[in-house]
Structures are given as structure tokens and as C-alpha cells.
């Protein structure tokens, strides 16, 4: 319920914008109050700034945000905004040195976070729509932009809609390939792909009607969960999931990643003075696990994490004994990524997909639904796996996988930090340590002596 509670927060944000048009800079404008508090939500910023300036604009990226545990929501944030037309009556000004650095090139900047890269992505999408016989009608609408993806909606001449999604191929799955794999088993489970450019992390999808199922009904659970399990079981049985070239998130590989992450935490602690036995030391560097004092693992927590890591090989053996096969995993199988219009249910957003243990998907919805709905999801998921793999023990797998589930997300969040530019770190800076703490909290007392 923690994640659902965060989603339901209802506050806005104030924004400042560094405005550019090509090589011209028009200063820091604002602050403006905008609806919707999530920093990645670009549409309210585009609407307000376009209305203020009288020209169409796009949000290129987050330039500054509070690093205070806001976790991507609320407060005052600053964006780099590009005007698509020169704003009338506005005079360009000279950038200060600080602004030049802030808006200049940066290591690990996403392609869609630059004016040139964004124009290339939009042009590619329009070309794909032309080839599909569905040319764009009017300007695309920017919906979201952040370190993980960009999202644009295109209205098409036939009265429909299409969606451009951009991701970084350096640390995300080739979504077009994943969709094709799942669609080969159950075409109605996935959105229709209108264009795919995995080299540049671009995907053009047909519109999926309906709503995201943040609060799924019992009927909606039955319309989604067993079908994903059926597709995963089929792809495991015929070997295509193993041979698809997906990121390796099998349990032994995951254990190795966990140990590497803990090595980084230990190295950070050893190079930072003042770490007591149970208290935080001095801040580490941004982007490293434990970069903020209140979000560092204590020495005691690090010791406990190492002890847990030492028990992971035995835990993996128990999970393997449950009999579930490694397969294509969605990677973020929460109900916000389920979509339905009442007649057709579709699963979306495959950027986190990998080859791994299906219990990692099975446990994901628990953070987003209440206890009654979670009990139903767990029962439906387990029953589906027993039907496809007779003699397996999926209920036991869900019980066992919880520490590894949280550790897997700690590893994934650190991957985000390792591949995004520094101004975007506040989105995820505290997440690796938070997930390790959750892993520690779900270990039974005395488990080390079992």
C-alpha cells in the first residue's frame, strides 16, 4: 500500500523554466503553479508555459529538483524548456556560467532530453505513422518526460491515437521484441506496435482503449494474471524466452548483482568518516547508494545485509525446488501497467523486462492493492502456475522470494542511477538503500539459524 498511497498524493508543484529556442536563451522564467505534482508529468508544464508565451514548447528535462526525499513529487522544480517557435516580444539574454554548465552537454543525458534528439524522435514517429497509412494530425502532445522515458501522444488523420515512447537502450529492454514474444502466444495481451527502433530506444504503439487498472476488480485480475502466466509458461516451455537475448535476471545472476551492490555500499562506508556502529556517517557522493546521511545503511544494517546475502544461495536452491521455470518476466507487473476497456485487458510497459524467475512478477502487485485483492491475485497467480507446471509449488515460491524481490529492485534502482545524469538523481537516489532495508525487514528473526 505504500506505493498506492504515494500515487494518491494530491498536490501540485511550482516550476521555473530555463527557456531556449535553438541557440538563443531567454532566461529563467516563473515560478508557475501547475496542476499535478509528479515531476515527470510534462503536460501541465507544457500547457501553462505555452499559454504564457503564446508559442508551443516541449520540456527537455529536469534541471533541478529538491533532494529531500520528495521522490519525484511536489515542491519547486526547474526544467529546461525548448520553444518550438521563437517567442514574440522576448529578447534573448546571455547565459551565466552556472546556467551554461546546467544547460550544456552532460554525461549520460537521455537522447530525448535534448532539442535535437527529441526532434529526431518525433520525426521518426511521424515517418512510422506515414508508413502505416495513419499520418499525424497536428502537433504531438507531450505527456511525460524523465530519466527513464519520454511519452508523446499523436492524433492521427483517421481519428485514432498513437503513442511514442522513448527509453535508453543502455539499461532497458527492447520493448518491441518483448511485445512480439508475448504477442506470439497471446496477441490480445499486448499493445499493437506501429514502429520499433531498439538501437535508439524508440517505440511507437497504437492506442489501447480503456483505463489503467490501479484498483483492479476481481474480474479484471482474472482477465490479466492467468494470461500473463500462460504466456510465460509457453515461452519457457519452447525455449524462446531463454534464447531471446534478454537481460539475465536469473536467480544466481541476481545474487551476484546483489553482492556487487553491497560491495559498493561497504566501499562507500569505508571511505566516509564518522560511521558509527548504528548511526550514519558523513554523506557519500550523489548517485552512490547511501548518498544522503538519512539514507545510508548503518554499519549494523550492512552487516545484516551481508549475512542475508550469504544465505541467498540456499534461498535460491529452495526457490528452484519450487519447480517454476525461468522465463520472460515483465519486471514491473503492477496493476497500473494493466489496462482494460471492459472487454479487452492489455499489459503495457516492458522496459524492465528480463529473463528470470516468474515469482518476481507474481509478488509485484502486492505493493499496490489492499489485502483482500492481494490474496485473490496471489491465489489466481499460483493456481495458473500449478495448471501449467503440475507438481510445482508457486505459493511457496511467493513466500520465499520476498527478500530477493526487494534486493532485485535495489539492483535495478542502482542501474537507473548509474545510467542517468546527475540532475535526475533525486528521482531514485534513496531507492537502493530503501529496498535493501525492506529486504532486511521481511527476513524472519532467527532465519540465520535455520
pTM: 0.90
Q: pLDDT tens across 74-124, in order?
A: 889 999 999 999 998 889 999 999 999 999 999 999 999 999 999 999 999
Q: Please give the residue that has the higher pLDDT: either 366 or 8.
A: 366
pLDDT digits (tens, 9 = 90+) for 132-179: 999 999 999 999 999 899 999 999 999 999 999 999 999 999 999 999
Q: What pLDDT was estimated at residue 290?
A: 44
* Residue 7 in this model has a pLDDT that exceeds 70: no
- The per-residue b/e assignment along 36-73, b for 16 or more CB within 10 angstroms, e otherwise, is bbbbbbbbbbbebbbeebebebbbbbbbebeeeebbbb
Reduce the DSSP state of residue 38 to 3 states and report it.
strand
Look at 19-33, 218-232, 418-432 and tell me which has the smallest mean pLDDT.
418-432
- Give the burial class of 214: count Cβ atoms within 10 A of its Cβ; 0-12 exposed, 13-18 middle, 19 or more buried: middle
Question: What percent of the chain stands above pLDDT 70?
Answer: 90
* pLDDT tens figures, 17-39: 999 999 999 999 999 999 888 99
What confidence category does residue 424 fall into, taking pLDDT thresholds of 50, 70 and 90? confident
Concatenated DSSP letters of 262-323: HHHHHHHHHHSTT--SSS--S---TTSTT-SGGGSPPHHHHHHHHHHHHHHHHHHHHHHHTT
Strand partners, 204: 164, 195
Dist. CA 410–CA 425, nearest whole Å: 15
Q: What is the torsional sign of CA 294, 297, 300, 305?
A: positive
How many CB atoms are closer than 10 A to CB 274? 10
DSSP secondary structure of 399-421: HHHHHHHHHHHHHHHHHHHHHS-
For residue 269, name the pLDDT band (cuts at 50, 70, 90). Answer: confident
Q: Which residues pair with 15 in a beta bridge?
A: 32, 77
Cα dihedral across residues 66, 67, 72, 74: positive or negative: negative
Domains in the chain, please, with CATH? 9-104 (3.90.79.10), 115-207 (3.30.200.20), 212-449 (3.90.1200)
Report angle CA 31, 32, 36 to the nearest 5 degrees: 130
Whether the Cβ atoms of residue 412 and residue 352 lie closer than 8 Å to each other: yes
Sign of the Cα torsion 105, 110, 111, 115 reads negative
Beta bridge partners of 30: none
Instruction: State the Cα–Cα distance between residues 260 and 411, nearest whole angstrom.
Output: 9
Question: With bands split at pLDDT 50, 70 and 90, how would you rate the model's confidence at 427?
Answer: confident
Q: What is the mean pLDDT of residues 297-304?
A: 93
Q: How far apart are CA 309 and CA 276, in angstroms?
A: 22
> What residues are paired with 327 via a beta bridge?
356
Q: What is the pLDDT of residue 445?
A: 56
Question: In this structure, are residues 39 and 72 in contact, taking their beta carbons and an 8 Å threshold?
Answer: yes
Amino acid at each position: 500500500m505504500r506505493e498506492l498511497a504515494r500515487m494518491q498524493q494530491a498536490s501540485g508543484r511550482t516550476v521555473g523554466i530555463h527557456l531556449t529556442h535553438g541557440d538563443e536563451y531567454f532566461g529563467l522564467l516563473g515560478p508557475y503553479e501547475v496542476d499535478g505534482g509528479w515531476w515527470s508529468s510534462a503536460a501541465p508544464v507544457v500547457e501553462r508555459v505555452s499559454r504564457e508565451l503564446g508559442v508551443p514548447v516541449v520540456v527537455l528535462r529536469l534541471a533541478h529538483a529538491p533532494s529531500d526525499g520528495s521522490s519525484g513529487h511536489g515542491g519547486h522544480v526547474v526544467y529546461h524548456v525548448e520553444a518550438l517557435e521563437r517567442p514574440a516580444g522576448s529578447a534573448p539574454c546571455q547565459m551565466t556560467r552556472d546556467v551554461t554548465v546546467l544547460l550544456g552537454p552532460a554525461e549520460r543525458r537521455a537522447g530525448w532530453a535534448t532539442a535535437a534528439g527529441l526532434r529526431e524522435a518525433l520525426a521518426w514517429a511521424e515517418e512510422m505513422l506515414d508508413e502505416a497509412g495513419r499520418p499525424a494530425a497536428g502537433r504531438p502532445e507531450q505527456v511525460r518526460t524523465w530519466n527513464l522515458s519520454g511519452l508523446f501522444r499523436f492524433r492521427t488523420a483517421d481519428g485514432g491515437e498513437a503513442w511514442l515512447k522513448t527509453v535508453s537502450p543502455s539499461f532497458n529492454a527492447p520493448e518491441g521484441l518483448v511485445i512480439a514474444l508475448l504477442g506470439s502466444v497471446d496477441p490480445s495481451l499486448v499493445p499493437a506496435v506501429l514502429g520499433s527502433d531498439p538501437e535508439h530506444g524508440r517505440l511507437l504503439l497504437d492506442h489501447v482503449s480503456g483505463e489503467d487498472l490501479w484498483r483492479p476488480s476481481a474480474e479484471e485480475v482474472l482477465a490479466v494474471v492467468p494470461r500473463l502466466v500462460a504466456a510465460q509458461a509457453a515461452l519457457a516451455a519452447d525455449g524462446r524466452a531463454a534464447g531471446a537475448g534478454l537481460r539475465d535476471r536469473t536467480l544466481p545472476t541476481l545474487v551476484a548483482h546483489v553482492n556487487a551492490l553491497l560491495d559498493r555500499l561497504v566501499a562507500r562506508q569505508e571511505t566516509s568518516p564518522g560511521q558509527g556502529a548504528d548511526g550514519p556517517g558523513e554523506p557519500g557522493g550523489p548517485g552512490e547508494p547511501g548518498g544522503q546521511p538519512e539514507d545510508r545503511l548503518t554499519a549494523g544494517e550492512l552487516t545484516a545485509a551481508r549475512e542475508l546475502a550469504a544465505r541467498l544461495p540456499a534461498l535460491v536452491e529452495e526457490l528452484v525446488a519450487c519447480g517454476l521455470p525461468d522465463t520472460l518476466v515483465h519486471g514491473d507487473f503492477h496493476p497500473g501497467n494493466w489496462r482494460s476497456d471492459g472487454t479487452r485487458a492489455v499489459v503495457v510497459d516492458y522496459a524492465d523486462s528480463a529473463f528470470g524467475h516468474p515469482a518476481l512478477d507474481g509478488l509485484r502487485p502486492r505493493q499496490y492493492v489492499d489485502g483482500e485483492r492481494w490474496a485473490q491475485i496471489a491465489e489466481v497467480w499460483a493456481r495458473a502456475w500449478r495448471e501449467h507446471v503440475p507438481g510445482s509449488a508457486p505459493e511457496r515460491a511467493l513466500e520465499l522470494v520476498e527478500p530477493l524481490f526487494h534486493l532485485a529492485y535495489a539492483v535495478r534502482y542502482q542501474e537507473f542511477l548509474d545510467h542517468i545524469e546527475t540532475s535526475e538523481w533525486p528521482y531514485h537516489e534513496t531507492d537502493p538503500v530503501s529496498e535493501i532495508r525492506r529486504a532486511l525487514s521481511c527476513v524472519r528473526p532467527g532465519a540465520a539459524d535455520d
